[in-house]
Structure 1
């Protein structure tokens, strides 16, 4: 079987103007980046507001494993399959971060016959959105230190500056730094650090903003420091928001590309779900709903992270309501959750599958708490056996009363996901539009919101909030932020904060070591366990295998 990049390179792509025309976007509303990528003009996005919205379908997954689940691949395959059966569908995805591309996870363009293309451009610099977000964030950091240098009229306490720097790369050496060394001309030395760009509050604001005006207003609400009197200092106080909005103006226009089968795809924004809210931009999702009868989107990692934040943060803020939710699982991954090592996954093991089924069951139950109908997509791998798939379908039917559908979109494209598409369309069409149920009420204390998620969705006995984090929560509430939702930052590999506790652990304690206020984005981040907002590279980074061949073509990208 050819590799993902070989499949993508062999495809014959349509001009992006033809893809746009298919969903009613005129050529003069496009800003082209070559023949196959374009941004949709702000004016056309505003004009779409007069159109009715289609049905929203969310794709999420079980807790990820090294065996692979294929959530983005399934999102693409489902979108292609819905178009194949005559349902006009737009796919809405996040943009890949360079960190995972050169680290361990790889890109985020799907795989096999279910990819968005041009894959190489999407996985690398694309249209420069992440660079614009990094630049806007960096401008804010520079303005803070410049304000201190030129007299500190706002009386900022340099010990209480919360605004870290960002770069879109995995670099553990930058987690903690000492800046402004070298003398008086370089400013005031202080401890600082870097996060990866996808963890930036600018990224979160970018993805939750309704338009440019909302973007600038949200940027102004971002709290970057405190004064010596413990009063908050915002980016509006620093007069940073106008210039930051200028840097983000073009980036805020959604990116239009296509799948291998010619389905339109909007790829825009890219927060991680383990350290941020894990959803593509509200602007792109809204546009997709108005450009098609269906919009299929995905939320990062397992349903305990991406899907929970999709409902409790994105849907709550944007007024969205999914008509159906797809939970992606694989036989391989469930066997790993049942205790099988990766090297033994090629051997049939129904008993391990049954043991690992508890992970899928908890994710299904969790999604149902939000009031959305669920179907399970079983992403087929070549070593799977008929007995394993039959057992999984029976478990889903007997224990969960949910349909599980075997999908072969990786190998067969849209044809391999047609059964899933028909099931999703039936679910979506039969679900009345209504506001989702949320995990907690807005008026609950912040600590109670964290506790509710831990107990009801993670199966935890309780939470343990470190004293520093508890004091911050109290300060946030005193400053009027009690109503905000919480954004849990924890390992994606487990319902607990220990990545080795696979399956569906219960009775554990979720340790909250720190909290951060994201007032512009409109949530409070709870940093749990050992999760890092600046990842590191693995022992053997993917970057070691990426190179140009003799003809100047990229090899090793996946």
Structure 2
């Protein structure tokens, strides 16, 4: 009998799974053994600093260890972190820590699962084809950036002298690029090929030219042969973990590949999906992009991770954590606050629980997960397990396709950031940027309103100024960028970089 092992191969110290092939097999063999796992979203408070996480991955790993300890078949799906920004994991990667870590964290932190390098090579080859198209008179401008896993400030904006005048180019980090988004959102290699063909390479006489008009796409899909396969590894306690895709949540879509989650749901009863940065970023994009527009499963429950210091020690920003928890509860997602303690904070637990009670949260889950791992969580999960295992499967959410772009951004600002529509501000030049994006789409035969919205924002703030009084907070719309192949339109809200620099460690 065919099983998942038939789609699995060894890839160094991890395994790679042909998720496309496995899911296609299940589709064509409805009687084949499979599970229908429920998705749980692990998200977080908005961090005080963009470079300091709240502990989502550590929590995710501890959580599946605790669930498996309780006899529940649970797995996690993580994103592949960016090697450059984590300084190869030395400043803290995305593979947990202490007793809540992976068996080979260096493979994840150093990008050795393969997809980052393959996607980098494939998108850079596309740019090379675009450069050749300029030489041959097929393009006047190039709109697709080169990518790198190692950031360089000097490459954020460059110009290349081709003898006929400079052609502007730029370099962004691999996790932010359109090809990464295409891999994350696609459910087959044919879909990847179709989406790459719709990527807008540049313009000729002011009109969009797509790669499908001048590139043999088998060259690109061939490079991605292993990159489209999720890596399987495990925690130090033996719980299964799938790692695939790595888009940043602040300037991209911040979620693992859809096929890795769907594959995990076919193999396990509970699948913990980690969404990047805070609830305003990764969770917003899982709900409003993956679920609303791409058919991903709506969460059966959510965990919102915070540090005690982030939540309580800055009075001007204390509103953010309750806002996140209450927002998800308002979407009928049972939401559990989890406080990830640092060393020396155990004496704060009674006060933390008292504050959570005053805020009418569900009973908070509290522990030093780096030190104690899943053992800290297992005794505290009765209510969480009941909500996940006994709750009904959520309904499919309503799509926003066709909604005017500014109206869509105002909806996100109100629901995800707490800023009402009338305080969404258009910066000088935004209207012109929106019109240029609308015209670009029209010249490529598509409608801007059919693209899913990606809010490009600072990872450490929800509004233009989170310290402002509630009635003064605003969100400013700055510019629009089309990722036609991925089916996305980016709107820049607050200051954020697609090539941020790592810490020196």
Partner Cα separation in structure 1 for residue 270 and residue 190 of structure 2: 27
2:321 aligns with 360
Tell whether the 8 Å contact from 1:78 to 1:420 is kept in structure 2 after alignment. no
Whether 2:193 is the aligned partner of 1:216: answer yes
Partner Cα separation in structure 2 for residue 256 and residue 468 of structure 1: 46
Partner Cα separation in structure 1 for residue 469 and residue 460 of structure 2: 11
1:287 aligns with 263
Residue 71 of structure 2: SS of its match in structure 1? coil
Deviation at 1:474, TM superposition (A): 3.7
From 377, 387, 392, the equivalent of 1:432 is 392
Residue 84 of structure 2: SS of its match in structure 1? helix
Partner Cα separation in structure 1 for residue 215 and residue 53 of structure 2: 46
Instruction: List runs of 5+ in structure 1 lacking aligned partners.
Output: 1-23, 340-355, 543-558
From 166, 174, 182, the equivalent of 2:147 is 166
Tell whether the 8 Å contact from 2:99 to 2:236 is kept in structure 1 after alignment. yes
Partner Cα separation in structure 1 for residue 359 and residue 309 of structure 2: 20
Tell whether the 8 Å contact from 2:480 to 2:491 is kept in structure 1 after alignment. yes
1:131 aligns with 117
Tell whether the 8 Å contact from 1:96 to 1:108 is kept in structure 2 after alignment. yes
Q: Which aligned pairs between 1:514-553 and structure 2 lie closer than 5 A?
A: 514-538=479-503, 541-542=504-505
Partner Cα separation in structure 2 for residue 141 and residue 173 of structure 1: 19
Tell whether the 8 Å contact from 2:258 to 2:296 is kept in structure 1 after alignment. no
From 319, 337, 349, the equivalent of 2:296 is 319
| CA spacing shift, 1:237–1:58, aligned 2, 3 Å | same
Tell whether the 8 Å contact from 1:162 to 1:225 is kept in structure 2 after alignment. yes
Tell whether the 8 Å contact from 2:291 to 2:397 is kept in structure 1 after alignment. no
2:417 aligns with 458
From 203, 218, 221, the equivalent of 1:245 is 221
Deviation at 1:506, TM superposition (A): 5.1
Between Structure 1 and Structure 2, how many residues are aligned? 485
| CA spacing shift, 1:38–1:516, aligned 2, 3 Å | same
1:143 aligns with 129
Residue 60 of structure 1: SS of its match in structure 2? strand
1:30 aligns with 8
Partner Cα separation in structure 1 for residue 216 and residue 357 of structure 2: 55
Deviation at 1:420, TM superposition (A): 4.6
Whether 2:82 is the aligned partner of 1:97: answer yes
| CA spacing shift, 1:68–1:43, aligned 2, 3 Å | closer
From 198, 202, 211, the equivalent of 1:225 is 202
Partner Cα separation in structure 1 for residue 37 and residue 469 of structure 2: 35
Instruction: List runs of 5+ in structure 2 lacking aligned partners.
Output: none
- CA-atom RMSD, angstroms? 2.3
- TM-score (structure 1 length as normaliser): 0.82
| CA spacing shift, 1:385–1:254, aligned 2, 3 Å | closer
Of the structure 1 ranges 405-414 and 459-468, higher mean CA displacement relative to structure 2 is found in 459-468
Q: Deviations over 1:226-268 (max 9, x none)?
A: 331x432212112243211111121101100010100110000
Partner Cα separation in structure 2 for residue 210 and residue 485 of structure 1: 17
- TM-score (structure 2 length as normaliser): 0.90
2:274 aligns with 298
Q: Which aligned pairs between 1:123-522 and structure 2 lie closer than 5 A?
A: 123-152=109-138, 156-158=139-141, 161-180=142-161, 183=163, 189-228=166-205, 230-316=206-292, 317-338=294-315, 356-386=317-347, 388-435=348-395, 437=397, 441-460=400-419, 461-465=423-427, 466-475=430-439, 478=442, 479-498=446-465, 501=466, 507-522=472-487
Deviation at 1:417, TM superposition (A): 1.4
Deviation at 1:191, TM superposition (A): 1.4
Partner Cα separation in structure 1 for residue 346 and residue 15 of structure 2: 42
Partner Cα separation in structure 1 for residue 263 and residue 400 of structure 2: 29
Residue 83 of structure 1: SS of its match in structure 2? helix
Partner Cα separation in structure 2 for residue 512 and residue 366 of structure 1: 22
Partner Cα separation in structure 1 for residue 69 and residue 377 of structure 2: 10
Tell whether the 8 Å contact from 2:85 to 2:501 is kept in structure 1 after alignment. no
Deviation at 1:45, TM superposition (A): 4.4
Deviation at 1:151, TM superposition (A): 3.7
Tell whether the 8 Å contact from 1:311 to 1:436 is kept in structure 2 after alignment. no
Q: Which aligned pairs between 1:10-89 and structure 2 lie closer than 5 A?
A: 25-26=4-5, 28-34=6-12, 36-41=13-18, 42-49=20-27, 50=30, 51-66=34-49, 68-89=53-74
| CA spacing shift, 1:378–1:173, aligned 2, 3 Å | same
Tell whether the 8 Å contact from 2:53 to 2:277 is kept in structure 1 after alignment. no
Deviation at 1:224, TM superposition (A): 2.4
